[in-house]
Each structure stands twice: as structure tokens, then as C-alpha cells.
Amino acid sequence: MQTRRLVLGLALSMAWTVSARAQFQQADRQGPRLENTTVEKWRFGIVVTAGAGACRGIVATTSVPTNWPEQQVRVVEERFSPGVRVSYRMVDDAVREMTAQIASLGADERAEAIVTFEIRRSWQVAPDDTEVYTLPDVRKLDRSMRGFLVPSPYIESGHSRIRALAGRIGAGEKSAWKRVEAIYDWVRENVAFEDNRGGRVKGALETLRDGTGDCDEMTSLFIAICRAASIPARTVRVPGHCYPEFYLEDAEGRGHWFPCQAAGTRAFGEMPEHRPVLQKGDNLLLRDPQTKRPARSRFLPDHLTIADAQAPPRFELVLERVPD
């Protein structure tokens, strides 16, 4: 799955839009049940090694896990080289970013910022009674939900072909749950899984035209059709994989996010997954570090920027499960 890129520039310049945190909060009642909880340790971090010459003004960033309804996170170890300053921030309430600042490195000198997290992650299990859920009235949704109803990078929900599909698939279903499930089954029946590891990521429209896709692409198509049908949906990213979530309301008008496995073993309204959640959402507004212009991004990219370097440094990401 292609979700990361490296950017080398002269300075770090990024801007974030912050939406209400309520869009990601979820009441326990009538949402997915949490079962089969495991506790694992994962390392996340950054290693920068100077080249044949010195460099200064180094800033490196990467995504790290944070708390979600199905996931609780705590830091158990920090390994920072002398002179490395580390800070964290939430980006669009979708992903937590770690930033490591390094004043300077001599030739071939190495600096690291590595954090070990204890992650308590539960499987999400579909509710027994799915008939209580309804489609939300988009006119009454909080403004922070708008990003889950409009096109975003690789998710062309406004295209006429996708809108036409959204008008047909599951249109006769009276149950909101079955309406979304019809979209889910249609994608899985009409898109053959094809591992695109290392290749160019396709958008929802190209995936629809080709009839093939991997987890990124099948997720994008499912989300695009949902959004075209006025059903909020978003991408969830875990290491090496992604899957979608859709949003319905219960009988009391409270909203709940439900996951499903677009590619892989069938799992609708539930998620048998223990890998840490890194991001929920796919419409980040960032400032390009080179052009300085705002641009939308599906996933938060990793960055390495330097103010001055006699030779390019090496940038290594640490993302690994700690063996038991």
C-alpha cells in the first residue's frame, strides 16, 4: 500500500485545518462491540544520518498512533539522541504527527527519535440488531462531517458515473444497514483484488473502469459510492493496509462509525484487526513544503527538510512491532 512519501526541501512549512473533535468521538451504546483485546508494543520513529558533509536545520516528521474508541495508546519508552527535540500535534483530528528537530549533524553523524508505544487494540464486532440504524440527514450533520461527504484525493465521489452507481445500488433497500451492505457487496463482486504493492495508486474512478484494485483502491471506490449516496464514509490506515468506515445513526439520532474490510476476508460492520490505527480520514489540508500552497492529501506524508546540507542525509522510518 502506498501511503508514504519523502520530501526534501529548504524549510518546513505546513498548515493544518482543525475540525471539531466530536466527529471522531463515538458513544459505546449501539456502536460496534469491542472484543478480543490484545496488548502489543510497537516502535515508531525517525533516524537521520548525515552524509559526507555536515547539515543543519533538520526537521523530520512521521505519523504515530493515538487513541480511538477501539484503541488506547501509552508511551512506554523514548529513545532520543542528545540535542533532538520532539513534539506532537493532531492534524485535522485524523492523525497524530511526531516532529523531530535536530539543530545540526556532523559528517556521518546519526540522530534518532524512537518511541515505543503500548497499544491496546480490540476487534470491532457488528451489532446484533442492525435495523435500528438510519441514514443521517446531511442537512443536520455537524460541519465537521462535511469532509466525509465530498470528493477527496483518489475518491471522486462527484463523478457522474459514480453518482449513477450510487443511485442504483441498494436503492430498493428499506434498511440503511442493508443499503450500505449492498454497496459493499457490489464493490467486492465487481472489483477483483490485484496487489498493487510498489505500483501507482489508482483512484476510485480508474478502479471502477479497470475492475481491479488493492485495499487502497477498493476502499476508495466503496467510500466514493457511499459519499455519492449521501452516506458519510472515511479511510482508516493501519501499517501496510487500509479499510473503510461508514457512518449511520441509531434510533436516538446518535452517530456511529462502522468498519468493513473492502479487500480480504469478508467483514461488514466489523473489523478483526489488531494492527494500530494510524489515521482516520482521507481529506487532509496541508501546505506543500516546496510550493507553500495549500493542497489536499489522502494520507499524512512523512517529511525530511533541511536548511543547509553539504551532502544529502539519509532518512529512515521506524515502524515495527516489538516481539513478545
DSSP letter for each residue of 61-97:
EEEE---BTTEEEEEEEEEE-TTEEEEEEEETTTEEE
Look at residue 151 and tell me if it is in a domain: yes
Residue-wise pLDDT for 99-126, tens only, equals 999 999 999 999 999 999 999 999 999 9
Using the predicted structure, report yes or no on whether residue 3 has a pLDDT greater than 50. Answer: no
Helix, strand and coil in the chain, % to nearest 5: 15, 40, 45
Residue with the bigger pLDDT between 195 and 199: it is 195
Whether residue 310 lies inside any domain: the answer is no
Domain enclosing residue 231, as ranges: 124-280
Counted domains in the chain: 1
Residue 293, pLDDT score: 86
For CA atoms 179, 180, 183, 187, give the dihedral sign. negative
Is residue 289's pLDDT more than 90? no
CA 52 distance to own-chain centroid: 36
Report if residue 81 sits inside a domain. Answer: no
Residue 21 pLDDT > 70: no
Report how far residue 185's alpha carbon sits from residue 187's, in angstroms, rounded to the nearest whole number. Answer: 5
Domain-located, residue 194:
yes
Instruction: Tell me the C-alpha distance between 302 and 103, whole Å.
Output: 19
Within a domain: residue 100? Answer: no
| Residue 12, C-beta contacts closer than 8 angstroms, at least 6 positions apart | 59, 61, 289, 303, 305
The proportion of the chain whose per-residue pLDDT surpasses 90, expressed as a percent, equals: 84
Residue 83 lies in a domain: no
- pLDDT reading at 19 higher than 90: no
Q: How far is CA 229 from CA 85, 94, 180, 283, in A?
A: 46, 23, 9, 18
Q: In the prediction, which pLDDT does 29 show?
A: 62
Q: Residue 166 maps to which CATH number?
A: 3.10.620.30
The predicted pLDDT at position 292 comes to 76
Residue 197: predicted pLDDT = 72
Distance from the Cα of residue 164 to its chain's centroid: 27
Give the pLDDT band (50/70/90) at residue 152.
Answer: very high
Given a cut of 80, whether residue 192 has pLDDT beyond it is yes
Question: Which of 148-162, 175-189, 205-219, 281-295 is predicted least confidently?
Answer: 281-295
Q: How many CB atoms lie within 10 A of CB 188?
A: 19
Task: Name the DSSP letter for residue 134.
Answer: B
Q: What is the mean pLDDT of the chain?
A: 90
Grid cell, residue 156, equals 471522486
Among 7-16, 137-146, 233-242, name the most confident range: 233-242
How would residue 71 be classed by pLDDT, with cut points 50, 70 and 90?
Answer: very high
The answer to whether residue 16 scores a pLDDT higher than 70 is no
Q: What is the rounded (10 degree) CA torsion for 76, 81, 86, 91? A: -80
Alpha-carbon span 16 to 210, nearest angstrom: 34
Please report whether residue 137 resides in a domain.
Answer: yes
Q: Cα separation of 309 and 113, whole Å? A: 20
| Model pLDDT, residue 163 | 98
- Ranking 146-150, 166-170, 195-199 by mean pLDDT, the lowest is 195-199
Residue 11 inside a domain? The answer is: no
